[in-house]
Structure 1
Amino acid sequence: MRLLPQTTLFCRSVVSRSCLSFLLTSLLVSLPAGAKELDFGDDSELEGSFDTTLSLGTTIRAQSRDESIIGRQNGGTGNSINGDNGNLNYDHGDVTSVVGSITNELDLSYDRTSLFIRTFGFWDWMVMTQGTERTSFSPSAERFAGGDFRLLDAYVTQDFNIGDEGALTIRAGQQVINWGESTFIPNGLISINPVDVTRLRTAGAALQNALIPMPAIDFNYSVDENLSFEAFYQFRFDHTDLEPEGTFFSTTDIASPGGNTVLLGFGAPGIPDNPAPYGLGVAGPVGIAVARGSDRDAGNQGQFGLAARWFVPELNDTEFGLYWTHVHSRVPLIGAVTGSLAGLGAGDYAASAEYFIEYPEDINTIGASFNTQVGSEGTAIQGEFIYRFDQPLQKDDVELLFAALTPLNPVFGANQVGSFGFDETIQGYIERDMIQGQVTVTQLTGPWAGADQWVMLAEAGFSYFRDFPDKDELRLEGPGTYTTGNPFFTAAGIQPETETDGFADKFSWGYRLVTRADFNNAIAAWNIRPSLAFQHDKGTSPAPITNFVDDRKTITGTVAADYLNRYQVGVSYTNFFDGGRYNLLRDRDFVSIFGSVFF
C-alpha cells in the first residue's frame, strides 16, 4: 500500500545535496488535479483527457555568505575558487529565480491500446533577462536553467490477456522506469533514471518534470493477481544534469553544465577567477588553469533490468519485490589527461593538460523491496535494499590533480593516485561493491489539533562499501575537501594547509522526518496544508554517491493552500545548517513562493 502519491518516488535517484527540502514543496502540497475529459462523440470507443498546469514560482536568498566556503581570491577563507560562483552571484535578499512553466498531459485510450504524452516548457526571467552582475551564464546554463521546451513522456501501452488469469502489458516509447520503495534516500533502484536536478530546485516544481524519460520498451506480465514479472530495455544513454555553473544552488564550477575550467593555486590571491585565454598570465612553467576536455558519455546499448513481485494478502497485503538492473552510470566522475612535453616547454603545462567527465558502463545492481500495512490504523512500512557491484567512486580530486602534475616534478609523486608521464590518461575512480538500504514508515491519523488529517513519515537509510580503502591509502572525494590530507605537501609549500576531515567514509547513514496537517475548508473552500521536514546525516558518502554529508542538517517549513483542486499557492523556508564547511549549501537558506492553476 502506498500512502503517498507515486510522484514521491521521483526524488530517489537524485545526487542532490538537499533533495528533501525541494521535494516537500512539491510532494506534500501537490494536488490530485483532475484532467479535462475529451469528447469524441457518444458512439466513439476512443476516450481521452488533456490536462494543463501553469505554474509560477520565485526563490529569494535568505542568508549571507559563509566566508569559509568562498575562495581567498574571492574574499573568503576557503582554499578553492572552483565552486563558489553560484554563491558569489547572489547576495542576501536577492531574487535568484522567477520561473514560469507549463505542463501538458495528453492521455488517449482505445480498447486495449493507450497513448500518453507529456510536454514541459519553462522560462526563468532572472536567468534569461537579468543574469548576474558578476558572471554571465553560458549557453548550457541558459538551456538547463533559463528556458526550454521539452517532450518528456511519449509512449504507447498495449494490454493482452494471457490464458484465464494472466495479463501482459507492453509499454514502448520515451518513459520513466519506476522501481523500488525509497522515498527520500537517493541512489537506490530508481537511479535507473537520470534526473534534471535544476527542476527539483525550482519553486513549486512538479516532480514528474524532474526525471528524464528515456526511450525504452517495458514488459509487465501478471501470472495472476498476486505474481508478476517485469523487464525493460533502454535504447539510449542519458545522464543526470547538475545545476549549471553560476546558478544559485550550484556548488561546482567544473563538472556542471557551463563549467569548463579548473583553476590552480588553491584560491590564493593573484590567480584570476576567469582566465581567458588560459595561456596568458602564466606563473612559471605550470600555468594557471586546466581546461575541460570532451565528455566521455557511455554507449547507448546494454541497459536493461528484470523484476519479480509477489503480493501476499495473508501478510497484511504485503508486496515483495526482487530486482536486477544492468545500466550505465547516470552521475559524472572526473578523470584527467596529463600535459605534454611541448606544453611544458612553452611555459604553460596546465594548458596542454585536460580533465574530463565520464560515465562508466555496465553497472549491475540486485535488490529486494517490500511494502506492507500494519494493522488498520493507517500505518504503512516500506523498504528497499540493494547490492551494487563495482560502483565507481571518485578519487579525491586534489590527489588526482597532483597525479596529473607528476611529469613536472617527482615531488608530486607523493600523491595517492600514482606517477604518470606526459600525455597519459588518469582514471579518476575506483570500483567497490556497495550495499544500501532504507526503511520508511508512514502514518495517517484522523482529526487532531484542529486538522482533519495528519501525515507523518520517517525514513532512515545507510550506504556501506566493501573493501573500502583506508584514508592513509587512498582518500575518496567528499564535498569541500580542497587540499589533500598529506602533510608532506603542506610542508613543501605546495598547498596552504592539510585537510583533516571531510573525506568519504566506508559507512554513512541518515534519516528524514516529515509531517503534514490537512485543514479542509479552513477558509471558505480553501484547504490549508502546513508541513515540516527535517533531515540529518551521519558520516560522508563518497562521490558520486553523495547521499550523506557528516552532521549536515536541513529543515523546511511550508504552508500551502488549494482551492477546488484547481488553484494552489504556497510559501516555504529552507534552512541549511551544521556540517561545517563541507556542507556546501550551509549559507544558502532560501524562501520560495509559488502558485499553480490546473485545467
Structure 2
Amino acid sequence: MAGQLKNILIASAVLSSLAATPVVAITFQNDTGTLTGDFTTLLGTGFGMRVSGIDTSPEFAASGFAVSGDKNYSKDHLFSLYVKVTPEFSFALPEQGISFLARATIQHDFAADWTNSPLSQPARNQLVNNPQLLDLWVSKSFNINGQTGRVRIGNQVINWGETLYAGGGINSINAYDYQKYAIPGTLLKEVLLPAPMVSVAGGILPGLRVETYYQVAWNADKFAPAGGYFSTSDTFGNGSGWNQIKPSNSGQFGFSGHYKPVGSGVDFGFYYLHYNDKAPVYQTDGTPNGSYRYLENRSLYGVSSNGAVGDWALGWEASYRPRDAVGLGGCYTSPQSTYNPSGPFADTSVCPYSIDARKIQTSVSAVLGMTPSDYPFLVKHVLHANNAQLSLEAVMVHYNIGAGTVSRNLNGAQVYQPVLAGGYFFQDSSGNLVSTANKYSGSLNVDFNWSYDGNVIPGWLFTPDIFYSYQLGDNPSALAGALAGNQATTISLFFVQNASKNVITAGLSYTNYFGGKNRHLTRQYYRDRDFVGGYLNVTF
C-alpha cells in the first residue's frame, strides 16, 4: 500500500507541474522561408477507477465473463494511473513540396499492475510500459496538368469511409489499439496505429481524386491483455500464453476514388482493399493450448457518399467482404452434441473455430451543428450555450451464416460446429444452450454535446457530452462485434484552455454498462465494470 501511495503522490506532482508548464513549442524558419518546422510535445496524465463491485453471482459466472480481468481490480480501486509524453516533430520545404512528420508516445501506468492476482510479463509489458513509434513519413507534392497530388512514404494513417464510431466498415486499413482506446485521455492519433506504406493521392480530372497505397509490413490490432481491466477472456490477448500464427507481409494494398461534381456539395466514393486480417481466429492444432491465426488474402469493396441537407451533414457507406470469419464452437461428432461443452469431439488434427462467410455492412450518419441564432429555444434559452452538436449513427451488418450448426469435412473427419458469436453460448426460452448468432446485427450510436466559451469558466471552453450506444443482434463474427441488447452510456466534461504559451485540455467521465439480459445468462460482459476517469494534457 505504501508503494501505491508513493506512486499516487508522484502522479499528483506530475499533474500539478503540467498545469504550470512554462515552456513553449519550438517553431523555426530560415531567413528566406524555404524551410519551416515545429517541435511540439504533449505531456499528459490520467486515471481510471472502477466504481462497480465485482459480480460474484452464479449467473455472471455461468456467462463466462467472470475472468481474471474482472476479478483483478476491486471497487473504488484504480486500474489506470498514467503519465505520458507524446513528442511530435515536423518540417517542410515549401518550394520543393517536401514535408516530414515524426511522432511517438511513451507511457508509464503506475496502477495497471495493482491487481488482485499477478499479471503475466507480456500483459504487464503492454499495460505498464508502452513506448511506441507512431507516424514517421516523408511526403512530396506534385502538380501535373493543373492537378495537385502527393507521394508519401513511411509509417502513416489512411482514413477512408464515413463511419463516426463503429468499426468493421471501410475504414479498415490501419490497426487499432483497443486497449488504449478505453483509457481516459487517449488521443485518436494514439489509437490508430500507423503502418509502413507507400501512398499516392492526387487529382485526375476536375472533381475526381484518387488515392492508392501499398503496405509493406503487416501489423495487428491490439486488444486488452489477459488480466487487464478491459479483458473479457483469459485465453485471448497478450499474457494468454497461446501460440500466434501471423500472416505474411505481402498482399496488402488498396485504391479509392472520390468524385465531387463541379458546383455540387455531394461527394461519391468508391474503394477496394486487399488485406490480411488484423484480428485473429482460434484453432486447435495439436499445440498445448491451440493457436490464434491471422487469416490472409481478404478483400473489401465499398462505396460511400456525403453531403449536406439543410443544417445536417450526412454520410453513408456500404461495404462487401466476400470472406470474413464467423465464430464457431468446437468440432463435434454429431449435430446433437454441438451444445454440450464437454463433447464428444471429433478426432481431427486441426479444428478451426471459424468459417468464412459473406459480409455486408452499411451505415448512415448525421451531424447537426446548432447555434443560438439558428436554434434559439434549445441552445440559447434551455442550455444557455454558445453552440451544440448532435451526432447520430446507425449501423447494420449482414452475414449469410446465422444461428445453427455448420457441417464440414476436416482432414477426412465429418464434424459439426455451432455458430457462436465470439464463442459464447446463451439460453433459449427453456433454458437450453443454443447457437448465438444472427444474420443481421448492428448498433445505434448517439452523441450530444454543448459548449460554453468562457461564460462558465473564464478563459476556458467547457463542453458537457453525453454518448449512448445500443447493440442490435448477436453479431456472428469471431470477436462478436455486437451482442443483442448491450448498452453503454458515457457522460463527460471537457475543458480546453488556449493560452498564449500552451494548450491545456482536461476531462472527467463516467461510463455505465448495462442491458444484454438473456434469461439466466447475460450478454453484457462489462456489466460490473462501470468506471470513472479523468485526464490532463498540456501541449507546448
Aligned equivalents of 1:358, 1:68: Cα separation in 2: 34
Give secondary structure in 2 for the equivalent of 1:199.
helix
Q: Distance in 2 between matches of 1:534 and 1:484?
A: 27
Superposed CA RMSD in Å reads: 2.6
What residue in structure 2 maps to residue 178 of structure 1? 159
* Structure 1 segment 220-369 matched on structure 2, within 5 A: 220-260=201-241, 292=242, 294-315=243-264, 317-338=265-286, 353-369=288-304
8 Å CA contact 2:422–2:478 kept in 1: the answer is no
CA deviation profile, 1:343-376 (whole Å, cap 9, x unmatched): xxxxxxxxx743100010011100001111123x
Give the counterpart of 1:435 among 355, 360, 364: 360
Q: TM-score, normalised by structure 1?
A: 0.77
SS in 2 for 1:241: coil
TM-score (norm 2): 0.85
Q: Is this contact kept in 2: 1:514–1:531, CA < 8 A?
A: yes
Would you say the 8 A contact 2:327–2:479 is kept in 1? no
1:125 pairs, out of 102, 105, 110, with 110
- Within the candidate set 462, 467, 472, 1:533 is matched to 467
Cα distance in 1 for partners of 2:263, 2:480 equals 39
Amino acid in structure 2 at the alignment position of 1:150:
Q
- The 2-side partners of 1:372 and 1:113 are apart by 32
Task: Quickly say closer, same or farther: Cα 1:563–1:80, change in 2 above 3 A.
Answer: closer
Would the aligned equivalents of 1:513 and 1:534 in 2 still touch at CA under 8 Å? yes
Alignment partner, residue 141 of structure 1: 123
How many Å separate the matches in 2 of 1:434 and 1:413?
A: 24
Q: Which runs of 5+ in 2 are unaligned?
A: 1-23, 373-378, 408-416
Query: C-alpha distance in 2, partners of 1:482/1:68?
Result: 18
Cα distance in 2 between the residues matched to 1:224 and 1:100: 48
Residues 92/420 of structure 1: CA separation in 2 closer, same or farther (3 Å cut): same
**C-alpha contact (below 8 Å) 2:216/2:250 kept by paired residues:** yes
Task: Return the alpha-carbon distance in structure 2 between the equivalents of residues 564 and 189 of structure 1.
Answer: 35
Aligned to 1:568: 505
Amino acid at match of 1:421: D
Contact preservation (8 Å) 1:364, 1:388: yes
Change beyond 3 A, Cα 1:539–1:482: closer
Change beyond 3 A, Cα 1:361–1:174: same
Whichever residue aligns with residue 537 of structure 2, its letter is S
Q: Does 1:543 align with 2:527?
A: no
Pair 225,453 (structure 1): closer, same or farther in 2 beyond 3 Å: farther
Secondary structure, in 3 states, of the residue corresponding to 2:127?
helix
Bigger drift between 38-47 and 581-590 goes to 38-47
Q: What is residue 275 of structure 1 aligned with on the other side?
A: none
Q: Please give the alpha-carbon distance, in whole angstroms, between the structure 1 residues aligned to 2:515 and 2:426.
A: 21
Aligned partner letter, 1:304: F
1:45 partner amino acid: T
Partner of 1:594: 535
CA contact (8 A) 2:328 2:423 kept: no
1:194 to 175, 187, 201: 175
- Please give the alpha-carbon distance, in whole angstroms, between the structure 1 residues aligned to 2:346 and 2:482: 33
Gaps of 5+ in 1: 1-34, 71-75, 261-291, 339-351, 488-496
- Contact kept in structure 1, 2:403 and 2:438, CA below 8 Å: no
- TM-superposed CA distance for 1:411, in Å, is 10
Contact 1:322 1:368 in 2 (8 A): yes
Q: 2:453·2:462 contact (CA, 8 Å) conserved in 1? A: yes
Cα separation, partners in 2 of 1:410 and 1:105, compared to 1, 3 Å: closer
1:280-304 deviation line (CA, Å, top 9, x unaligned): xxxxxxxxxxxx3x21111100000
Q: Does the C-alpha gap of structure 1 residues 483 and 337 become closer, same or farther in structure 2, counting only changes over 3 Å?
A: farther
Question: How do residues 511-522 of structure 1 correspond to structure 2 at under 5 angstroms?
Answer: 511-521=444-454, 522=456
Q: Quick check: 192-201 or 298-307, which moved more?
A: 192-201
Letter in 1 for 2:512: N
Q: Report what 1:152 is aligned to.
A: 134
Aligned partners of 1:69 and 1:584 also within 8 Å: no
State the 1:210 CA deviation.
0.9
1:421 aligns with 2:335: no
Classify the secondary structure of the residue corresponding to 1:563: strand
Contact 2:101 2:137 in 1 (8 A): yes
2:230 partner amino acid = F
Contact 2:327–2:422 (Cα < 8 Å) also in 1: no
Partner of 2:420: 477
Looking at structure 2, the residues matched to 354 and 143 of structure 1 have their Cα atoms a distance apart, in angstroms, of 22
What is the letter of the counterpart of residue 297 of structure 2? D
Secondary structure at the residue paired with 2:320?
strand
Aligned residue for 1:92, secondary structure, equals: coil
What is the CA distance between 1:139 and its match in structure 2?
2.0
Letter in 2 for 1:39: F
How far apart, in 1, do the equivalents of 2:529 and 2:406 lie? 33
Q: Give the direction of change, closer, same or farther, for the CA distance of 1:37–1:222 in structure 2 (3 Å limit).
A: farther
- Alpha-carbon distance between aligned partners in 1 of 2:469 and 2:74, rounded to the nearest angstrom: 26
Q: Is the 8 A contact 2:123 2:225 kept in 1?
A: yes
Q: d(CA) in 2 for partners of 1:296 and 1:518?
A: 48
CA contact (8 A) 1:480 1:583 kept: no
1:418 deviates by 9.6
> Highest relative contact order (Cα 8 Å, sep 6+), 1 or 2?
1
| Separation of aligned partners in 2, 1:204 and 1:240 | 20
Residues in 2 aligned to 1:512 and 1:68: alpha-carbon distance in whole angstroms: 30
Quick one: distance in 1 between partners of 2:262 and 2:56? 57
Which amino acid in structure 2 is aligned with residue 558 of structure 1? S
Give 2:10's aligned residue.
none
Asked if 1:582 is matched to 2:523, the reply is yes
Residues of 1 paired with 2:45 and 2:130: CA distance?
15
Task: Report how many residues are paired.
Answer: 487
- Is 1:445 equivalent to 2:370 in the alignment? yes
What is the match of residue 194 of structure 2? 213
1:420 Cα shift? 3.9
CA separation in 1, counterparts of 2:171 and 2:479? 14
Q: Return the offset for 1:484.
A: 9.4
Partner residue of 2:62? 78
Cα displacement (A) at 1:481: 2.4
CA contact (8 A) 2:219 2:278 kept: yes
Structure 1 residues 437 and 411, CA gap change in structure 2 (3 angstroms): closer
The alpha-carbon deviation at position 546 of structure 1 amounts to 3.0
Q: Structure 2: how far apart are the matches of 1:468 and 1:174?
A: 38
Please give the alpha-carbon distance, in whole angstroms, between the structure 1 residues aligned to 2:50 and 2:192: 26
Residues 195 and 240, structure 1, Cα contact 8 Å, conserved in 2: yes
Seen in structure 2, the aligned counterparts of structure 1 residues 314 and 203 have a Cα distance that, compared at 3 Å, is same
Contact 1:453-1:519 at 8 Å conserved across structures:
yes
How much has 1:545 moved relative to structure 2? 5.4
Write out per-residue CA displacement over residues 515-553 of structure 1, whole angstroms, 9 at most, x where no aligned residue. Answer: 110100022112210000111112011233533210111
Q: Percent identity over the alignment?
A: 24
Q: Which one has the bigger strand percentage?
A: 2
